[in-house]
Amino acid sequence: MSMKVAIYCRLSEEDKNKQFETDDSGSIQNQKAMLLQYAMEQGWELYNIYSDDDYAGADRRRPEFNHLLNDAEQHKFDIILCKTQSRFTRELELVEKYIHGLFPIWGIRFISIVDNADTANRGNKKSRQINGLVNEWYLEDMSENIRSVLTNRRVNGFHIGAFALYGYKKDPDQKGHLLIDEEAAAVVREVFTLFAQGYGKNAIARMLNDKGIPNPTEYKRLHGLRYRQPKTKNSTLWKYFAISDMLTNEMYIGNMVQGKYGSVSYKTKQNKPRPKSEWYIVEGTHEPIIDRELWDSVQSLISQKAKPFTTGTIGLFSGKVRCANCGYTMRSSKNHSRHYLKCSSRHISKDACIGSFISVDKLEQLVIDELNHLAAEYLDKDELEQNIELCGNFREQKACLLSDIAVYEKKIVEYSKGIRELYMDKVKGLLSESDYLEMSKDFTKERNRLERVVTEREKQLSETEEKIAAGDNRRELIKQYTNLEHLTREIVETLIDYISVGKRIPGTKDVSIEIHWNF
């Protein structure tokens, strides 16, 4: 019976050469050809080719990479074949977790041709670990170098973003410089002028939509410019927040503003907001679209209209309620001393949205009623049944933590053994003193890191076991908030992730809602 092989290919950042986004890169094509030939020479049966194009080696969200891991766990093939270990991953943690941990458990052999990594060959395990360390250092060093270069360019006022701000375009003759895009700039000037004349942000959005002027994302798409893919419906329309952001953006008075978001880690593409004190702001880097007099007038009006945030009745559901139709956060309004929540999309265009609408009092009562319903449902159940049903997630977490601890502890033992073997190689004269010190230092460093990871996992395990022992945490949470007459902002923050509000139920005065709880 022939062995089944799964081929995995990945495009690295340094060898992109595609003409079109839908094409495979030359690098991917070459990898496939090389690996197919190798598999054929070995007499293996091809199961599938998994290919990730335009993904970094540290990106754990690679779709085909995760598809490969799922199929490996189900043992749909016997061998994973790559060009190099780094094409599979550049993270040492994933090398240890999968290549040295789970693949042997699943009965999967891992082979990379160029760097001669093969889990069937126990003699080259050290080289695989060293490859993992080198790749990890490569990632970190590359990240630091890139960050240093980008920071320097930001400090000196060069634009480094992939997308030019609406109203501007990238200068083809001077990298990092912006030029005015007159067609879009005319719309920017109109927005500032209308606001200075007393028009509100929703009113301005509606006026632009009524004229058929495409919003910034749609404008860039129509003109063949790079743009960020929208995540919501009605993405071609101007919205309140687009107008609001535009009116306070210093880029429009010629100042370069960058660094509003920063990466969480070099191992992920996730970004988080940075405080304004950490932004990079350089004045006078490009031609302004808005003159200083109009800018100052608009900023003064914004300051006068700004209202302090309150956590009373108006702010009870602030930021927690979304329109079920378009997904946008509903905003508060007041009419005859009553407070309402409404979808602002209804006011920016006739066909933008159904315009979800509900009074704060009505929504508060619906939430209280649902809480009481949950209390009746959960608190009347048999205690044993409750524990089995509601502690399931904690038990799954415990199983995952125990599995992780077992894998990491096994690696710690292997690192300790590796250090001893290195010492014996030095004693036998197979390793020089300098090589021994360098390699044992790396092994010791990684062993210490894994020991810290195990300590952290054990702490999480202890906390999880306490939750399981305590039983149903939702039960206690619901008990705490039963028989309420009114909600507070603190209760809403504690219990509710968000609420989706739909349209009125035909033949009634009721509105459909869906509550997404935090428990």
Q: Which residues of 384-403 are buried (b: 16+ CB within 10 A; e: fewer)?
A: eebbeebbeebeebbeebee
pLDDT of residue 18: 41
- pLDDT tens string 145-199: 556 666 677 777 788 777 889 999 988 888 889 999 999 999 999 999 998 888 8
Global pTM reads 0.41
Which residue in 261, 195, 266 sits closest to 228, CA to CA? 261
- pLDDT tens string 402-412: 887 888 888 88
The angle at the Cα of 247, spanning 242 to 248, to the nearest 5 degrees, equals: 105
pLDDT band at 312 (very low <50, low <70, confident <90, very high): very low
Q: Helix 392-427 crosses helix 383-390 at what angle (to 10 degrees)?
A: 50
pLDDT band at 46 (very low <50, low <70, confident <90, very high): very high
- pLDDT tens string 207-225: 898 888 999 988 888 887 7
pLDDT at 6 over 50: yes
- pLDDT tens string 53-65: 767 656 677 889 9
CA 156 to chain centre: 29
- pLDDT tens string 224-259: 776 666 555 556 788 888 899 999 999 999 999 888
- Rounded to 5, what percent of the chain is helix, strand, coil? 50, 15, 35
C-beta of residue 35 within 8 angstroms of C-beta of residue 82: yes
CA 98 to chain centre: 23
C-beta of residue 80 within 8 angstroms of C-beta of residue 103: yes
CA-to-CA separations, 419 to 118, 409, 414, 422, 447, in angstroms, rounded = 21, 15, 9, 5, 10
Structure tokens at 331: 């905003």
Of 313-317, 370-374, 384-388, where does mean pLDDT reach its minimum? 384-388
Cα separation, 115 vs 430, in Å, equals 21
